[in-house]
Structure formats: C-alpha cells, structure tokens
Structure 1
Amino acid sequence: MDSTKQALKEKPGFQIWWRLLRPHTLTASFVPVFVGTMLALNEDSFHVVLFLAMMIASILIQSATNMFNEYFDFKRGLDNAESVGIGGTIVRDGIAPKTVLRLALIFFGIAALLGFFICMESSWWIAVIGLVCMLFGYLYTGGPFPIAYTPFGELFAGFFMGTVIIGISYYIQTLRITSEVIWISIPVAIFIGCIMLSNNIRDLDGDKINGRKTIAILLGRKKAINFLGILFIIAYSLTLYYIVVDMLPVWSILIFISVKMAITVIQKFKGKTKPIEMMPAMVLTGKTNSIYGLLLGISLLLSKLF
C-alpha cells in the first residue's frame, strides 16, 4: 500500500477528500455548463446566478457519482490498496465506506436544492431531466446492473454529461433549445466519453478479471487506444465542419491548440500495460477535454464581444 501511495504521490489531510472527488474527472461537469452558457450568451441571454447554480449542481453530481463509484466498487471487492485511478479514500486512507456513501447523498441533496431553485427560475421540466441525470449518476456503478460494467458506459456518460448538460445550461438561460446547440454538444460529449474510455483502457486487466464488459475489454487494449484516437479525430473534425458552415464562429479555431494534447494522450498510452504507467495518459485526457471546452467557450465569448 505504501508503495502505491508513494507512486501516486498521495498526501494526507485535506488531500484525502480532494482525491475522493477525482478532480481529473470534474472537467466533465464544468465544461458542458460553460459551453452551454456561452452559447446562450450569444443569444443575448445570461443570468449569472443561474449559471453559478448550474455549475455548482453539475460539479456536485459528478463528485457524488465518483463517490458512488468508490463505494460500490469497494463493496463488490473490485478495489484494493493497490488499485490505481481511485480516490483510495476507503482502501488506503481508512475512511469508513458509509461515510463516503453519506457524503455522496449529501452532495446529491445540495444539488437537488439548487435544481429546485433553477426550476423556479426556468421550467419544472428541468426537474425531471435533473432527476434522470442523478439516477444515471447512481446507476453508473450502483444497482444490480451497473452501466460502467457494460460497453455503454462511454455512451451514457457522453450523452448525459455532455449533450444533456449543455442543453440544460442553454435552456435555463434562454427558455428554448435549438438543433444547433445539440449538434455543437456532440464533440464535447465525445471528449467526455473519451475520459471514460481512457479510464477503462487503464483498468482493462483488472476489469476483465472482475467480469466487466467495457469497450476497452471487447476491443482489446491496442484497438481501444486506436479507437480513442479515432474519437479525437471525429470530435475535432466535427468542430472544424461547424466552423466552415458558420455554426461556430471563426474564433473557435482556437480549440485546435488542444490537438497536441490529444496526440500526446495516444502516445502516452501506447506500449504501456500497467495501470500506474497509464495514469498520466488518463489524466491528460481529462485536461484535453478541459482545454478544448474552455477554448470553445472562450471563442463563443470572443465572438459576442467582437
């Protein structure tokens, strides 16, 4: 256990709880809210309180989902002191599993209160969609048939955390939804799916032993890495197409600054077989999503200002 903690450079104190949130995955919560809100800003609709409420609620739901993951994987015996890519709060830091579960439920509760406020200011249909998103967050690793253990984890994660969150973030600002918003959400959804895929590539061997049927397992590590590269190409190609057809502003060419990071992700994965060796590639996948999403949102802001 000590060797794993040293290799991962894990520290005690506040860092224990910070790791539990799995910060490298939180990009999947704030990027869609930012992009959806900037799309609304281009339609002359922006309410800062709604933006902040949506941002905090999204981060809380993602954090709670990570905690459910930590709790249920431990309960199923999938995590141990040597496991990489987890918070390690239970198996390495000795925090009681029930404490992690309670904290996840508290985060869900706060997110629900924020959702109630958002609904009061927009539409009560948001409550239905929000509850479905929270249910997905629980069922991703909870319940009798966890989605994360199937080939559909990346698809569900990309759809709910990408397209749905962008759509909600846009709708609460404008009280409408457009087909363009849905189309623009697709590359972001792909990048979020890539985060899940890179996680599953790293965990392939352990997941296979434990009976999971992820895309990475079905394809095999080499083909899964190639598939990850293909997804990156599709996301960037779609963005370029949107710029050409004037669905996105010319400023959005800025997103191609992140291409080098995507290429590096693939390079860091190739030839690696141990989870600890693939952690840098996994973390960089999240950073690629962050840079892509932030640059996309900034490009929309620049087009509004200039």
Structure 2
Amino acid sequence: MHPDTHTHSAPSIEPDKNWRIWWMLLRPHTLTAAFIPVSIGTVMALKEGSFNVWLFLAMLLASVLIQAATNMFNEYFDYKRGLDNENSVGIGGAIVRNGVKAKTVLVLAFVFFGISTLLGIYICIESSWWIAAIGTLCMVAGYLYTGGPLPIAYTPFGELTAGLFMGVVIILISFYIQTGTVSIDAFLISLPVSLLVGAILLSNNIRDLDGDKENGRKTLAILMGRKKAIDFLALIFICSYIFIIAFILAGTASLWSLLVFLSVPKSVFAVKSFRGKSRPIEMMPAMVATAQTNTQFGLLLAAALYISYLI
C-alpha cells in the first residue's frame, strides 16, 4: 500500500510530452470498447426508424468517460496496492513513471463520472428514468472493477463483467433511448461484441498472469493456466464469428455482416503471438492485436448494419 504522501523520484516531464502522458492515462486503445457498442445499438435503432443525434452523442460521450474513468481507477488502485512500478509493462503507470499525483488521477476519474451523470440526466429526461439506475450500476461496476475490498479484476469474473456491461448493457441502452423499447435482435447482436470485450480483458490477464499470481489474484487466466487461457481466447474469437454466421442464416443480420471476417487475420495473429511466450513484454503485440480485433470487428459490424439499413 502506498500512502498519498508517498515520495518517489518522479522523472522530469518535458512540456511537449504532457499531453501524451494524459492521453495514455485514458488508455485510448480501450475506448473503442465504449464507442463501438453505442454505435451498434444506435444503428440497430436506425433500422427501426428512430434516431436522435443528441441522444447518440450524449450516450457516446458518457460511455467513453465512464470507460476512461474506469481506466483511471485501475491506474490509481494498482498504484495504491503496489502493483505498478517503473518497470511495469503496458501503457499504465502515469503515476509511477510520469510523476502524475495519485490523488489527481482519482479526482479526475470522479470528475469524469460527474460529467457522465449530467449527460445521463439529459438522456433520462429524453427517454426514461430507468436509465439512471442502469447507468449508476455501470459506474459502480467501473469503480469496483479495481476498487473496493474485493476488486472484480482480482476474481475470475472480470471478463464476464466487462463483456456484460460494455457489450449487452450499452448496446441495449443505446437502442432503448432511441426507440423506447428493446428487441431480441439488438440483444443477439450484442453477444459477439460482449465476447470480444471480454477477450480484451482475458488477453491482459494472460500477459499479467505471473505478476497477478504473485499478488494473490484469482483471474480466469490464472485458474485455467496460460496454455488453456490462450486456447479459450481462440475459442472466444471463433464463437464471435460463428454468431455472425448464425445471425445471417436466421435472418437477424444481412450478408453484409460477412464484412466482419476481414478482422480474422488480426485475431489469428493475436492467438499465434501469445503461443510460446512467457514474458509480458513479448506478449504486448498479442494484447494489442486482441484490442484491434475488437475494434475492427465492431466497426465492420456497425458498417454492415448501416449498409443494410441504407439498402
């Protein structure tokens, strides 16, 4: 545990690097996990003939801010528990490597939550106050992912939690605020998106397996072991593509949805890049490729849904 008054030799920060430090603190590669579900839910609503651009923008910004705040809580609590150090692998470490004050990171996270709450109030006024309860639950989950006495990230339920909230919940909220209802099709489309969000967390836990084990975590990757966890990651990718084929056969999605298969090479690269690796730095390309698979798959799916709407 590191007290707020902990003094460490913070490296000097060049002025032109300040923006990069704050940008990396947001962990930008994870923000597509917020952007894509909102886009997909909204495009699904568009197919139903409903679209309000201000609701879309409010939902998009709120989701991105909640995701960014969650990343900051992660940064803060990893520091407080002594999990981050100057040699930690990854884009986290603004506190230990770049001299950003821990309290500043925590305050900024709550500021982002505050802005999200204001956006949520607008969304509720325009749709339903039930959204307030769900939005609050999303923020609580974001905080408890690495905060609280038993962080979700320390359990085998991290992937499930992230996939549920950043996939199913956000897509259905985005659809609901536009249409005033939910649909089976919107729920079904959310499933492969949820799987791929969970895959991002799984890839992170595969990379950090040894360090997490030393710190007493019980992540899914630790319980399964590295080899089986990588096999499970491959299975998640496969199931995501099988879902799309099933949706096309069932008439839930159009043939345009086959566009998502353009992301297959990136998923194959991710799995292959994990094989035979044990050092965190060696697994960074695989982790990045997993996040890129989610981004490519999601954007291609959103594009396919929009094209099918246009024609």
Length-normalised TM-score, structure 2: 0.94
For the Cα contact (< 8 Å) 1:70–1:86, is it kept in 2?
no
SS for the counterpart of 1:158 is helix
2:253 aligns with one of 248, 267, 270: 248
Q: Which residue of 2 aligns with 1:95?
A: 100
Q: Which residue of 2 aligns with 1:168?
A: 173
Matched, 1:74 2:79: yes
* Alpha-carbon displacement from aligned partner over 1:104-149 (angstroms, at most 9, x marks no partner): 0000000110011000100000000000000000000000010000
Q: Which residue of 2 aligns with 1:23?
A: 28
Matched, 1:124 2:129: yes
1:155 aligns with one of 154, 160, 166: 160
* Alpha-carbon displacement from aligned partner over 1:243-282 (angstroms, at most 9, x marks no partner): 1111011111111111111101001111111111111111
Q: Which residue of 1 aligns with 2:6?
A: none
Q: Which residue of 2 aligns with 1:186?
A: 191
For the Cα contact (< 8 Å) 1:40–1:46, is it kept in 2?
yes
Displacement of 1:87 in angstroms is 2.2
Q: Which residue of 2 aligns with 1:140?
A: 145
The one-letter code sitting in structure 2 at the alignment partner of 1:192 is V
Give the ranges of 4+ consecutive aligned residues of structure 1 lying more than 2 Å apart after TM superposition: none
Q: Which residue of 1 aligns with 2:289?
A: 284
Displacement of 1:86 in angstroms is 4.0
Q: Name the CA distance, whole Å, in 2 between partners of 1:282 and 1:85.
A: 10
What is the RMSD computed on CA atoms of the aligned residues? 1.1
* Alpha-carbon displacement from aligned partner over 1:144-200 (angstroms, at most 9, x marks no partner): 010000000000000011000000000000000012211110000000000000000
The one-letter code sitting in structure 2 at the alignment partner of 1:84 is V
Q: Which residue of 1 aligns with 2:18?
A: 13
SS for the counterpart of 1:278 is helix
The one-letter code sitting in structure 1 at the alignment partner of 2:156 is P
In structure 1, runs of 5+ residues without a counterpart are 6-10
- Relative contact order: is structure 1 or structure 2 higher (C-alpha 8 Å, sep ≥ 6)? 1
Q: Which residue of 2 aligns with 1:197?
A: 202
Q: Which residue of 1 aligns with 2:227?
A: 222
Q: Name the CA distance, whole Å, in 2 between partners of 1:294 and 1:48.
A: 19
2:51 aligns with one of 32, 46, 50: 46
The one-letter code sitting in structure 2 at the alignment partner of 1:62 is Q
For the Cα contact (< 8 Å) 1:16–1:87, is it kept in 2?
no
Q: Name the CA distance, whole Å, in 1 between partners of 2:243 and 2:181.
A: 24
For the Cα contact (< 8 Å) 1:27–1:287, is it kept in 2?
no
Displacement of 1:289 in angstroms is 0.5
Q: Name the CA distance, whole Å, in 2 between partners of 1:113 and 1:45.
A: 23
Q: Name the CA distance, whole Å, in 1 between partners of 2:261 and 2:23.
A: 31
SS for the counterpart of 1:177 is coil
In the alignment of these two chains, the number of paired residues is: 297
Q: Name the CA distance, whole Å, in 1 between partners of 2:229 and 2:282.
A: 16
Displacement of 1:85 in angstroms is 2.1
Q: Which residue of 1 aligns with 2:68?
A: 63
Q: Which residue of 1 aligns with 2:299?
A: 294
For the Cα contact (< 8 Å) 1:203–1:275, is it kept in 2?
yes
Q: Greater CA deviation, 60-69 or 74-83?
A: 74-83
SS for the counterpart of 2:113 is helix
